[in-house]
Amino acid sequence: MRYLNFIFLTLILILGSCSLDRDNFRKTGDSHIKAIEAEFKASATLSDEGKIVTSREKLALDNYLNEYNRRGRGPITVKLLKKNHVIAHKITSLLQKKGVMSDQIVFELNKDENLMQNTVFFHFNGYLLKVSNCNDWSGANGFNPKNLPHTNFGCAYNRNIGLMLSDPGDTIAPEAFGGDDPSRPSRVIQKYKSGQPTGASAPQGETGSTTQ
Evaluate if pTM is beyond 0.85: no
pLDDT at 24 over 50: no
Which band of pLDDT confidence, cut at 50, 70 and 90, is reported for residue 104? Answer: very high
Spell 48-76 as b/e; 16+ CB within 10 A means b.
eebebeeeebeeebeebbeebeebbeeeb
| Dihedral, 151, 157, 159, 161 alpha carbons, nearest 10 | -160
Question: Where are the strands (E) in the chain, listed by range?
Answer: 33-45, 73-80, 105-109, 119-131
pLDDT at 200 over 70: no
The answer to whether the CB of 126 falls within 8 A of the CB of 76 is: no
Number of neighbouring beta carbons within 10 Å of residue 155: 20
Q: What are phi and psi of 36, to 5 degrees?
A: -115, 125
State the pLDDT at residue 19: 47
Closest by alpha carbon to 52, among 104, 115, 118, 96? 118
SS3 82: coil
Domains of the chain as residue ranges with CATH: 38-128 (3.30.1330.60)
The per-residue pLDDT of the chain, averaged, comes to 76
Q: What percent of the chain shows pLDDT beyond 70?
A: 66
What residues does 76 pair with on adjacent strands? 105
Query: For 151-181, how does the pLDDT look when each residue is reduced to its tens digit (9 = 90+)?
Result: 667 777 778 888 888 888 888 877 766 666 6
